[in-house]
């Protein structure tokens, strides 16, 4: 790819509990990538969420440049999640489309609506 070009992958991970140690594991894996820019997942606030109750979700997000998606999903699966059944990763890659996965179901990807599985 030429200078100045990008290949963006948006990632959103939601959990029903504080999963900071598992997210730290994924961020350590991200830091080990050969890149001149450290990219990591950050927790984002749900204070602006709608509804009449306080959200109990924890939301982590990032927009990565040149993320190796297959290897990333492997790191997500290997992370020490306390409650893997409550973890959902949404991955939107410019070239491979959108999919959703959970570490509790390691062999199953759910493609976005309208896409072929």
- Look up the pTM and report it: 0.83
For residues 112 and 98, give the distance between their C-alpha atoms in angstroms, rounded to a whole number: 5
108 pLDDT higher than 80 = no
For residues 115 and 106, give the distance between their C-alpha atoms in angstroms, rounded to a whole number: 20
Q: What is the 3-state secondary structure (H, E, C) of 5-36?
A: CCCEEEEEEEECCCCHHHHHHHHHHHHCCCCC
pLDDT tens-digit profile of 20-70?
Answer: 999 999 999 999 998 767 789 999 988 888 888 888 899 999 999 989 988
- Enumerate domains of the chain plus CATH numbers: 8-47+54-106 (3.30.70)
């Amino acid at each position: 790819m030429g200078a100045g070009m990008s290949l963006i992958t948006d990632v959103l991970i939601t959990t029903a509990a504080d999963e900071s140690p598992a997210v730290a594991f994924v961020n350590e894996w991200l830091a080990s990538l050969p890149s001149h820019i450290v990219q990591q997942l950050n927790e984002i606030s749900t204070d602006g969420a709608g509804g009449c109750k306080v959200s109990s979700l924890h939301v982590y997000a990032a927009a990565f440049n040149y993320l190796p998606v297959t290897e990333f999903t492997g790191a997500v699966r290997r992370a020490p999640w306390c409650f893997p059944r409550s973890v959902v990763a949404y991955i939107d890659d410019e070239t491979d489309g959108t999919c959703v996965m959970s570490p509790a179901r390691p062999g199953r990807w759910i493609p976005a609506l309208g896409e072929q599985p």
